[in-house]
């Protein structure tokens, strides 16, 4: 592993640890590693630039995307839940699943 990649993963894992208020460092490292590797494979074009609006707010775009994909809700819905409920995984995922069930009925 290159020193630069290792440092990026270390910093991201620490950010995840802070955001979640502690937890399993090994899981944080694995999540950070997956995020860094994924980012490295994304094409960088002008269209990939993050909008300069409040659409993303202070939430990490990868957290929004991950929640949307994992629970089957839209990115906007995931953003709204994260903004409203924070990053405590259990209540956010419960709310996302409830939202999805309501949408189906």
The per-residue pLDDT string of the chain (105 residues; one tens digit each, 9 = 90 and over) reads 688 889 999 999 998 888 888 888 899 999 889 888 887 776 555 454 444 443 334 447 777 777 777 778 888 888 888 878 776 777 777 888 888 777 766
Query: Residue 15 domain-assigned?
Result: yes
Residue 90's domain comprises: 57-105
Whether residue 52 is contained in a domain is answered as no
- Same domain, residue pair 63 and 34: no
Give yes or no: residues 105 and 64 share one domain.
yes
Q: Which residue has the tokens 């994304």?
A: 42
- Alpha-carbon separation of residue 16 from 8, 41, 48, 75, 80 (angstroms): 12, 21, 23, 20, 20
The answer as to whether 49 is a domain residue is: no
Three-state DSSP state, 102: helix
Q: Looking at residue 52, what is its pLDDT?
A: 44
Residue that has been written with the tokens 């990939």 in this structure: 48
DSSP string, 23-48: --HHHHHHHHHHHHHHHHHS---GGG
In this structure, is residue 30 part of a structural domain? yes
63 and 91 together in one domain: yes
Residue 69 included in any domain = yes
Both 71 and 28 in a single domain? no
Full-model pTM: 0.42
Which pLDDT does position 57 carry in this prediction?
43
Q: Provide the number of structural domains found in the chain.
A: 2
């Amino acid at each position: 592993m290159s020193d630069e990649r290792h440092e990026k993963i270390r910093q991201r894992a620490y950010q995840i640890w802070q955001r979640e208020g502690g937890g399993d460092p090994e899981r944080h490292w694995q999540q950070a590693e997956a995020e860094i590797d994924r980012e490295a494979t994304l094409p960088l074009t002008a269209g990939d630039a993050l909008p300069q609006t409040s659409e993303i707010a202070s939430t990490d775009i990868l957290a929004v995307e991950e929640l949307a994909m994992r629970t089957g809700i839209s990115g906007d819905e995931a953003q709204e839940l994260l903004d409203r409920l924070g990053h405590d995984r259990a209540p956010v995922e419960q709310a996302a699943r409830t939202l999805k069930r309501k949408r189906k009925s």
